[in-house]
């Protein structure tokens, strides 16, 4: 068993958070805790489920696990399970579970024989501090919050990371110098690339469409509206149907005659329809002599885009009737929309309870 460090290893924890985010393929906030544990095969056991399984009270479970919040155990070789008090507020549950994940990822259960009574109060405080830091940096990654522009805005951090007021306030108090010390530029840039689609996700207030665009103020590619905002995904967000295209925005199969031999040119050789989705808007360019000529918008579009995000012009697929307008699909999906289940509503089976 290794010796417990005499201080909280902040850089060590930050490196572990960085590797963990990459390894876990986490690409958006708030992090789905249950999906994360499922990905790593770490069973989650709610206290109420354990109490019912053992025909005991909640207080008995808390005393046996020696924790009012949660506990991670190593059961066998490289197998970990997490117990948590699901009677606490959901944000507390999320932090508790990530805290216990921190003990696993930081090697506390392997290097220091877990968090047990053999530790001194000071050693216990050090390991708990490292796990808290891991949970804070993972649930609210500073590099991502900084890129989104609300690193110092506690209410927004709370909203988008789904953490408590206390945790969001603590995260908002980190300075740029502290962030750079924990995550140098190359690490921050890698994380920003990992979260690219989340950072550039846009939503339309009119058609409720969701899309990815690096433009600061794009048009909605589904309805052409400029009523666009950035925000997290919701059950109302929609990605409209379209035509499958290649990297040059050319259809793989003609949507009219179903001809799949479209290698040459931008038109189907059978029915002559344009099979490339691009902006159909024309603008007039004028030289210094006053001569004017029409110039097409050069933007190529995805197969389900009805409008150009850059200029708002109609797409060639929409102009040629290959794509329908958004309204019919919108109201059809609206009827099918279902609210997601609340956090903690699912109960995982109890296995290998350590008492």
Residue range 247-257, pLDDT digits in tens? 999 999 999 99
**Which residues in 36-61 are b (16+ Cβ under 10 Å) and which e?**
bbeeeebbbbbbebbbeeeeeebeeb
How far apart, in whole angstroms, are the C-alpha atoms of residue 233 and residue 245?
A: 25
Burial of 302 (0-12, 13-18, 19+ CB in 10 A): middle
Residue 252 lies in a domain: no
- Cα of first residue to Cα of last residue in the chain, in angstroms, is 24
Among the ranges given (16-25, 100-109, 138-147, 290-299), the one the predictor scored with the smallest mean pLDDT: 290-299
Nearest CA-CA partner of 135 in 160, 176, 170: 170
Q: Where does residue 185 fall: left (phi above 0), alpha (psi -120 to 50 degrees), or beta otherwise?
A: alpha
Helix, strand, or coil (residue 275): coil
Q: Which domain does 223 fall in, by range?
A: 197-230
Helix, strand, or coil (residue 46): strand
Residue range 141-186, pLDDT digits in tens? 999 999 999 999 999 999 999 999 999 999 999 999 999 999 999 9
355, pLDDT greater than 50: no
The single-letter DSSP state of residue 209 is B
How far apart, in whole angstroms, are the C-alpha atoms of residue 314 and residue 309?
A: 10
| Same-domain status, 47 and 179 | yes
| Same-domain status, 50 and 61 | yes
How far apart, in whole angstroms, are the C-alpha atoms of residue 139 and residue 171?
A: 10
The single-letter DSSP state of residue 149 is T
How many domains does the chain contain in total?
A: 2
| Same-domain status, 152 and 222 | no
User: Could you check whether the bond before residue 30 is cis, i.e. omega within 30 degrees of 0?
Assistant: yes
Residue 197 in contact with residue 212, Cβ under 8 Å? yes
Residue 48 lies in a domain: yes
Residue 209 lies in a domain: yes
Query: What is the predicted pLDDT for the residue at 235?
Result: 52
Query: What is the predicted pLDDT for the residue at 197?
Result: 94
Residue 44 lies in a domain: yes
Burial of 13 (0-12, 13-18, 19+ CB in 10 A): buried
| Same-domain status, 226 and 170 | no
| Same-domain status, 189 and 210 | no
| Same-domain status, 66 and 206 | no
């Amino acid at each position: 068993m290794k010796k417990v460090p005499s201080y909280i290893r902040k850089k060590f924890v930050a490196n572990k958070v960085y590797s963990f985010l990459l390894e876990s393929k986490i690409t958006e906030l708030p992090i789905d805790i249950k999906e994360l544990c499922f990905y790593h095969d770490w069973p989650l056991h709610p206290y109420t489920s354990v109490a019912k399984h053992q025909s005991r009270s909640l207080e008995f479970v808390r005393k046996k696990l020696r924790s009012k919040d949660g506990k991670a155990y190593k059961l066998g070789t490289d197998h970990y399970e997490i117990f948590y008090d699901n009677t606490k507020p959901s944000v507390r549950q999320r932090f508790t579970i990530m805290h216990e994940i921190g003990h696993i990822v930081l090697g506390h259960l392997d290097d220091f024989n877990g968090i047990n009574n053999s530790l001194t109060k000071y050693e216990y405080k050090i390991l708990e501090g490292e796990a808290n830091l891991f949970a804070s940096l993972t649930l609210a990654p500073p590099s991502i919050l900084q890129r989104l522009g609300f690193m110092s805005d506690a209410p927004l951090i709370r909203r988008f990371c789904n953490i408590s007021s206390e945790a969001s306030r603590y995260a908002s108090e980190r300075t740029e110098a502290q962030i750079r010390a924990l995550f140098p530029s190359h690490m921050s840039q890698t994380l920003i690339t990992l979260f690219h689609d989340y950072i550039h996700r846009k939503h339309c207030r009119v058609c409720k469409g969701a899309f990815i665009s690096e433009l600061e103020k794009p048009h909605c590619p589904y309805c052409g509206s400029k009523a666009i905002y950035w925000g997290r995904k919701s059950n109302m967000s929609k990605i409209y149907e379209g035509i499958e295209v290649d990297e040059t925005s050319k259809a793989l199969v003609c949507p009219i005659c179903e001809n799949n031999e479209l290698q040459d040119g931008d038109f189907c050789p059978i029915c002559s329809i344009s099979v490339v989705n691009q902006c159909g808007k024309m603008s007039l360019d004028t030289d210094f002599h006053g001569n004017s000529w029409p110039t097409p918008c050069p933007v190529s579009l995805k197969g389900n885009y009805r409008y150009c995000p850059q200029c708002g012009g109609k797409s060639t697929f929409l102009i040629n009737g290959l794509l329908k307008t958004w309204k019919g699909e919108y109201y059809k999906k609206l009827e099918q929309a279902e609210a997601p289940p609340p956090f903690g509503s699912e109960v995982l089976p109890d296995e290998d309870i350590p008492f």
